[in-house]
Each structure stands twice: as structure tokens, then as C-alpha cells.
């Protein structure tokens, strides 16, 4: 049970730390403009992919809760992330983090030749990575929000167990990929490189090490292989370049930790038992 009290802190509106330096380095007009907010893990997914795949872009930080007109032009729900493709006249747009990741993977295949998936000649290996990514979206991400939004001791204990089970499910999928001879196991394998599943899960693993520690006293599961994976994941250059200082996340997630009304569309979906938007 958390012993912290709600201090009424609001969310941050500008990156800090390494993320701020990266945003400054990507402040001039490019063919792709990424609409994002500094605290959003769905944005961080896309940002990591842009950095790793070597696709040039401009960062445009917005306040998604104020629903500025230019955000609504590229995202009908007013959600981030969204991409504005400036090469079209008029510009075109893509929203939803998983769809954007697919677009970036396809774009990189034609330009930078970098990839988050195994080679196309190994469709089974690619499927295994996509299964890992699907588990993150369907199971691990909702479990994170149920845990951080739980308000009584019983539901927090249950939420913590559910989140650990979701992590364990991902680990089993990583182990399956190794066991079945996947040649591209991402950062789970020592010496591996970033995979789609790594990009999908990294923002929530990171927030587990600061937000969940602070508000729920959470500790990541033990195990040498898992802890080594987390160390490789959180120290990977493309990931680190998208990270603000930990205090930004602790401040910005206080709203979730005390389940304030109308914190976000994600929080509302968790409270109502609906699918995440």
C-alpha cells in the first residue's frame, strides 16, 4: 500500500535530461514531424524507433490535454504520438503507436536499411517477435495501469502480482524464441540488438523502475537473465536518448497513482474496464 499523499502535481510539458538534448537536436523542419509529449510511453516507443532506425525527424512537443488544433489535424482523438508527413501536399498524418512503428519499419527498409525484425527470409522468427510485441500490448501495458491506478491495499497487491505475471509471460516468449532457434532475439540475447518487442516494452519497464518504485514500492522480478536484459535495455543508446530525468515521470504519474478523475483516456479506460484507446 502506498504511503505517499497526493500533492497535486501536474504533468510536465517539456522534456528534461537526455531527451531534451535529443529534442533540441531535432528541432528543425524535416520530412517527418513527430507530435509527442515528454511523459507519454506510447510516444517514447516511436521516438526510440526513430532514433534506432536512423530516420530523420522533427520533435514537436504538445500538451495533449489541451487538444491544440494542429494536434487534432493529425490525430482525430487528440492522442499522441502522431506523425505529420511533410512531403505530401497537403501533409498527411499517421497516429497510433503500433501503426506508426509498422510504418517506420517499412520506411527504414527502403531508406536506412535498419530493422527491428528478423530478416524477411525467416517469417517464423518475425512472427515470434510480433507475438512478444502483442503480449506487451494486450497484457503488460494494461497490467501496468491497473497497478498504478489501484487505490486500496488489496487491489494494489493484486495489481503488483498481475504485472509480475505479465513480465513473466514476456520472459517465457523470449525464452521460446531462443529455444526454437530464433536468430533475432533482441536484447534478451547477450550481444543482440534492439527488436520490435524491446521498443514496445522499454517505456513501461523504465517506468517500473521509477514510477512504480516511488508510488507502489515495486521491485522488478529477480533472475540473472532478466536483470541482465533490463540493464541492456535501459542502457541502450537509442533508448537513453529519449529519456527525461526520473523526477519528470514521478511528477507526471502522480495523477495515475492517486487515480484522479479524468487523468487521461487511458486511465478512464482502465477504470471502466474498456480496451485502451
State the Cα–Cα distance between residues 115 and 59, nearest whole angstrom: 21
Residues of the chain with CATH 3.40.30.10: 17-112
Residue 156 grid cell? 494494489
CATH 2.40.50.1070 fits 17-112, yes or no: no
- Residues for the chain: how many in total? 277
Strand locations in 46-200, DSSP E? Answer: 58-61, 82-85, 92-95
Residue 7: the pLDDT is: 86
Angle between helix axes 153-179 and 224-235 (nearest 10 degrees) is: 90
How confident is the model at residue 81, as a pLDDT? Answer: 98
Q: In the chain, which residues fall in CATH 1.20.1050.10?
A: 123-272
State the DSSP string of 1-55.
------------SS--HHHHHHHHHT-S--SEEEEE-TT-HHHHHHHHHHHHHT-
Q: pLDDT at position 2, please? A: 54
Cell of 125: 522468427
pLDDT, residue 208, reads: 98
What is the chain's percent helix, strand, coil content, to nearest 5? 55, 5, 40
**For residue 27, what is its C-alpha cell?**
528541432
User: d(Cα 54, Cα 61) in Å, to the nearest integer?
Assistant: 20
Burial string for 110-132 (b: 16+ CB within 10 Å, else e) reads eeeebbbbbeeeeeebbebbeeb
Strand ranges for 37-154 from DSSP E: 58-61, 82-85, 92-95
Using DSSP's 3-state secondary structure scheme, residue 247 falls into helix
Residue whose grid cell is 513480465: 167
Contact 233, 194 (CB under 8 A): no
CATH number for the domain formed by residue range(s) 123-272 = 1.20.1050.10
pLDDT in tens, the chain (277 residues): 455 688 888 899 999 999 999 999 999 999 999 999 999 999 999 999 999 999 999 999 999 999 999 999 999 999 999 999 999 999 999 999 999 999 999 999 999 999 999 988 889 999 999 999 999 999 999 999 999 999 999 999 999 999 999 999 999 999 999 888 666 679 999 989 999 999 999 999 999 999 999 999 999 999 999 999 999 999 999 999 999 999 999 999 999 999 998 888 898 988 888 888 8
Q: What's the pLDDT score for residue 182?
A: 61
CB-CB contact of 83 with 35 (8 Å): yes
Dihedral of alpha carbons 244, 143, 228, 189, sign: negative
Rounded to whole angstroms, the Cα distance separating 150 from 158 reads 9
- Find where cell 519497464 sits: 205
Amino acid at each position: 500500500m502506498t504511503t505517499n499523499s497526493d500533492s497535486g502535481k501536474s504533468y510536465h510539458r517539456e522534456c528534461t535530461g537526455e531527451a531534451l538534448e535529443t529534442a533540441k537536436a531535432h528541432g528543425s523542419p524535416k520530412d517527418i514531424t513527430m507530435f509527442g509529449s515528454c511523459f507519454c510511453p506510447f510516444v517514447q516507443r516511436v521516438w526510440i524507433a526513430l532514433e534506432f532506425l536512423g530516420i530523420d525527424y522533427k520533435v514537436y512537443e504538445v500538451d495533449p490535454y489541451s487538444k491544440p488544433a494542429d494536434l487534432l489535424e493529425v490525430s482525430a482523438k487528440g492522442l499522441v504520438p502522431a506523425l505529420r508527413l511533410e512531403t505530401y501536399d497537403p501533409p498527411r498524418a499517421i497516429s497510433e503507436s503500433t501503426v506508426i512503428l509498422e510504418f517506420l519499419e517499412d520506411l527504414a527498409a527502403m531508406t536506412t536499411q535498419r530493422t527491428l525484425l528478423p530478416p524477411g527470409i525467416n517469417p517464423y522468427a518475425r512472427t515470434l517477435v510480433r507475438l512478444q510485441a502483442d503480449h506487451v500490448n494486450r497484457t503488460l501495458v494494461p497490467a501496468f495501469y491497473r497497478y498504478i491506478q489501484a487505490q486500496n491495499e488489496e487491489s494494489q497487491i493484486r495489481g503488483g502480482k498481475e504485472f509480475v505475471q505479465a513480465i513473466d509471460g514476456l520472459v517465457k516468449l523470449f525464452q521460446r524464441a531462443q529455444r526454437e532457434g530464433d536468430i533475432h532475439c533482441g536484447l534478451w540475447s547477450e550481444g543482440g540488438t534492439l527488436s520490435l518487442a524491446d521498443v514496445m516494452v522499454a517505456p513501461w519497464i523504465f517506468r517500473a523502475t521509477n514510477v512504480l518504485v516511488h508510488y507502489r514500492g515495486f521491485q522488478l522480478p529477480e533472475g540473472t537473465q532478466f536483470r541482465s536484459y533490463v540493464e541492456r535495455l535501459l542502457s541502450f543508446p537509442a533508448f537513453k536518448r529519449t529519456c527525461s530525468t526520473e523526477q519528470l515521470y514521478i511528477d507526471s504519474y502522480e495523477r495515475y497513482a492517486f487515480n484522479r478523475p479524468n487523468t487521461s483516456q487511458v486511465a478512464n479506460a482502465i477504470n471502466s474496464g474498456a480496451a485502451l484507446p
